[in-house]
Structure 1
Amino acid sequence: MEPLRGDETTVGETTVVARGCRLDDAPVRAVLETDARPRFFWAAGTESIAARGSAATVTADGQSRFDDVRTALEALFDDCSVPDSLPSVARPRAFGGFAFHNGTYEKEHSPWDGFPSAAFFLPEIQITKRDDDAWLTTVATGSEAATEAETLLEEWRDRLVADPETEPGTPPGISRQERTPTQDGWREQVAAATESIDRGDLQKVVLAQSLSATLNAELSVPDVMARLSETYPDCYRFMLSPDAGEGTFFGATPERLVSVRGRTVRTEALAGSTGRGDTPAEDEWLAAELLDSEKDRHEQKLVADAIRDQLEPFASTVRIGDRTIRRLATVQHLRTSITAELDDDEHVLSLVEALHPTPAVGGLPPDAALRTIRETEAFDRGWYAAPVGWVDAAGNGTFAVGLRSAVATEREATLFAGAGIVADSDPDREWDEVQLKYRPILDELE
């Protein structure tokens, strides 16, 4: 099936058929290690998903990219025949995401070749595991779709039984690293941002850095995902290899942008950071210091208030939880859970559009912050800090913010991390915070 752009209306002219069966196990590596593109991996809580091959693809760009993707996916799912016996966990989903910035934003030597402004695909092969329940789902299109979906189901069921899960290999090692900007350049950027804040042009801006790494051996991203799942089981682990290009975007992010199930919306405000202690007592001391930090509490409150304001036009109620500590392997954050009940049914992509970018990855006011990011950063953010996740036929879905992430080819990887700059930000402290945020991916490469 030819790729479908968001403004095309040809989806309904084809037949889309899904088939599925229960599996004894879900060896996701057997799906991810194939050469086929696109590929997608997602793991959150007790659910993990691996998908490959495109039965249908939707891409979009421009100001209406969220609407265009939503419209095309709704048409695609409306045309999809799914057996009533297939449970919700195994039903087809569309996987993908968006670039951080709308429109063309390519800097010199960008690693984002093949990543459109928005891209989703309905996979030919989807393995879903939730708790101890595992399913294989296949999708085919065209006049012989039913037969092809059944054939794919039989072939992959046999293949997965014969190809059990393997242990991940070791990291490839790094021969060269290059940071953009340098530490001196970073000090200049932070100083310029705080001057804008002092003038009243900004309240907050999130500035990012990139780290380019040359690898000693060929990188297996499925191996990285397996290791990240051991180290960061409470994070959203994701991996996407688009149709075109050679790159794969992957990461283990602590931040959910939004989940929609029915009329219930769940999200969170995550901002303010500190390291982990060498002992439990030091860990608690650092956490208490973070909770007492006026700078970090101010930064986190800006995020929580903005998310509440963005949700209120859709919601009958918005509930903001207590401020807590979110502990990860190398860093601790301030976190506030946010739950909303919608007035009416809303597609998850409508909420994604309303919330992206949150002040945790962009800033306030949004337009001034985005302009500052474009003018300041010397690299293309691509899909870094942008929405990545899944959508189902009911318009439910979950999207994470693409943090603690990298885009990589076989022998090159570019890592990204950022820090929120407010009035009293110290450039050297913010530099150290960014280096901590590189660690989840850097540890899996070195």
Structure 2
Amino acid sequence: MAIIPNHLSVLDYIQEFKKLIFSSSFNIKNNSSPSPIFSISCEVEPIDPLIFISVLQTDKQPVFYWQNQRKKEAIAAIGAIKSLNIDKNICQQDKDIDRFQKCQEFINNNQKLIHILNKDQDNYQPHFFTYFRFFEQSHNFDNKSFPLATIFLPFIQLIKKDNKYSVTINTYNQNKKEILDYLKDNFSEKIELNYKVNYSQENKINSHLENAKYQGFIDKVNKGLEAIKSEKLTKIVVAHALEIKTENKFNIVKSLENLRNNHPDCYIFSIGNEDQEYFIGASPERLLSIKDNQLVSDALAGSAPRGKNEDEDFLIGNNLLDSEKEKREHQAVSNFIFNQLSAMGLQPKKASLQLLKLSNIQHLWTPIYAEIKEEINPLEIVRQLHPTPAVAGVPIEVACQEIETSEKFDRSLYAAPIGWLDLQGNCEFIVGIRSALIKENYARLYAGAGIVTGSKPEQELTEIKLKFQALLQALI
């Protein structure tokens, strides 16, 4: 006999489903409780992950979304049945704390508690979601939206691979039949119907942009060039923040939808915390991907605009490939990744230098491959790769010190690792660039440019304006 009452309206269905998922878990007050976690998966009809989040997200719960249309993959997660936040207080108590190692320990400890109830859905096993701030330590900025590191196991996740969609629920409630009854009862159709009724109204925002102050960026570029001339460093990545306030709240889902439409070759991502602050963006840069022990990392540095037509675009791309200045900047990144992987005992291989053409910009790109050894975990590799010269500079420690003294804003998650891991050692991490931090009607947009010998402040300013424009066109 079906557990779901036939008389339930779509709205009641959603409310009862959310109560079923979250209520039993809320009764477990101690986050370190050793109670077993039951993971239940079910293949569902196609559903837009943004609609999935819009309908099922709850207050005071984290949200994670990313999508890569070129790879035909998407993932969305809501709530945290288990979580770990590493903040300033923890680091003050233990200055030697390794946030990447602590997150790996969190996975190891909680993996033992997870019981997958339907083994036929192994391809859709539960994932852990994690992200890190750019800097290892917390600095004295007003904005502390996200801790130094966060990792969580969600209550519910949606995974899209090619044309297959699966929902996984992690719960302390082992009533598999009751949960599956909901998921098999036209789940996707009811979620989308609920969205059309309750969420589809788009509030047009009459946005008023504060005057963009770019002189500070020019000054930072010149300071970086002086440091390079004095041989203090050979490269530094200068970032800039653009502050925006609007009359109404930003529509996160609609903004993400615009990013997805405008940048189909990028990773579109969004992280929402318990205070409903969101870090969103469209990143072209994959820091690390591991699938079946095969690693891929992208060396991405050196940029140029797209052409107005095919011939102009071809010429600009060839000039980028021939530019000694751009190739020198790119070589620093590819060498760093190659050397870091080699130092871990891996045997990386570089693909040939090529162009990565995006909707509004093109980059020099070198994919790097390696086979993973069993004793090396993914977060150990992330720790060794962050930050790369693509987002910091060369030498990295000196560049980071310069960044801390010259940038008068908080990088937060900008240019930092964001990703997921599963129970079999597979993972994917991107670099949080081309991004914005948003809360209600306030947004801080981030963009940066790599400065090396031969860099010209006016050209670097043009580059970051191009990156800002991609975000400004998407925000609603």
Q: TM-score when scaled to structure 2?
A: 0.85
* Residue in structure 1 matching 2:98, options 61, 64, 69: 64
Secondary structure of the residue aligned to 1:226 is helix
Q: How does 1:136-215 map to 2 (within 5 A)?
A: 136-141=167-172, 145-147=173-175, 151-155=178-182, 158=185, 159-164=187-192, 169=202, 172-179=205-212, 182-215=213-246
Aligned to 1:395: 425
Are 1:315 and 1:342, in contact at CA under 8 Å, matched by a contact in 2? Answer: no
Q: How does 1:302-321 map to 2 (within 5 A)?
A: 302-321=332-351
Aligned to 1:39: 63
Give CA-to-partner distance per residue, 1:124-177, whole Å, 9 cap, x none: 111111111111111113xxx313x65455445545331227579476352123
Q: How does 1:372-383 map to 2 (within 5 A)?
A: 372-383=402-413
Q: Larger radius of gyration, structure 1 or 2?
A: 2
Q: TM-score when scaled to structure 1?
A: 0.91
Q: How does 1:21-40 map to 2 (within 5 A)?
A: 21-33=42-54, 34-36=57-59, 37-40=61-64
Are 1:58 and 1:73, in contact at CA under 8 Å, matched by a contact in 2? Answer: no
Q: How does 1:243-262 map to 2 (within 5 A)?
A: 243=274, 245-262=275-292
Question: Which stretch shifts more, 307-316 or 397-406?
Answer: 307-316
Aligned to 2:134: 100
Are 2:294 and 2:369, in contact at CA under 8 Å, matched by a contact in 1? Answer: yes
RMSD across aligned positions (CA): 2.0
Aligned to 1:14: 35
The aligned amino acid for 1:135 is S
Aligned to 1:341: 371
1:232, CA displacement in angstroms?
1.5
Structure 2 CA distance, aligned partners of 1:342 and 1:90?
A: 22
Do structure 1's residue 122 and structure 2's residue 122 form an aligned pair?
no
1:389, CA displacement in angstroms?
0.9
Aligned to 1:7: none
Structure 2 CA distance, aligned partners of 1:358 and 1:278?
A: 32
Structure 2 CA distance, aligned partners of 1:196 and 1:296?
A: 19
1:260, CA displacement in angstroms?
1.5
Secondary structure of the residue aligned to 1:18 is strand
The aligned amino acid for 2:311 is A
For structure 2, the 5+ residue unaligned runs are: 1-27, 92-96
Secondary structure of the residue aligned to 1:163 is helix
Are residues 382 and 318 of structure 1, via their aligned partners in 2, closer, same or farther at CA, if it must alter by over 3 Å? same
Question: Which stretch shifts more, 278-287 or 339-348?
Answer: 339-348
Q: Which structure is higher in strand share?
A: 1
Do structure 1's residue 331 and structure 2's residue 351 form an aligned pair?
no
Tell me how many residue pairs correspond in the alignment.
430
1:274, CA displacement in angstroms?
1.0
Do structure 1's residue 356 and structure 2's residue 390 form an aligned pair?
no
Do structure 1's residue 55 and structure 2's residue 85 form an aligned pair?
no
Are residues 22 and 347 of structure 1, via their aligned partners in 2, closer, same or farther at CA, if it must alter by over 3 Å? same
* Residue in structure 2 matching 1:278, options 285, 308, 315: 308
Are 2:42 and 2:183, in contact at CA under 8 Å, matched by a contact in 1? Answer: no
The aligned amino acid for 1:389 is G
The aligned amino acid for 1:249 is F
Are residues 103 and 264 of structure 1, via their aligned partners in 2, closer, same or farther at CA, if it must alter by over 3 Å? same
Structure 1 CA distance, aligned partners of 2:225 and 2:374?
A: 41
The aligned amino acid for 2:226 is E
Structure 2 CA distance, aligned partners of 1:3 and 1:99?
A: 26
Are 2:244 and 2:444, in contact at CA under 8 Å, matched by a contact in 1? Answer: yes
Are residues 295 and 412 of structure 1, via their aligned partners in 2, closer, same or farther at CA, if it must alter by over 3 Å? same
Aligned to 2:416: 386
Structure 2 CA distance, aligned partners of 1:134 and 1:163?
A: 14
Are 2:304 and 2:361, in contact at CA under 8 Å, matched by a contact in 1? Answer: yes
Aligned to 1:224: 255
Are 2:130 and 2:419, in contact at CA under 8 Å, matched by a contact in 1? Answer: yes
Structure 2 CA distance, aligned partners of 1:248 and 1:3?
A: 26
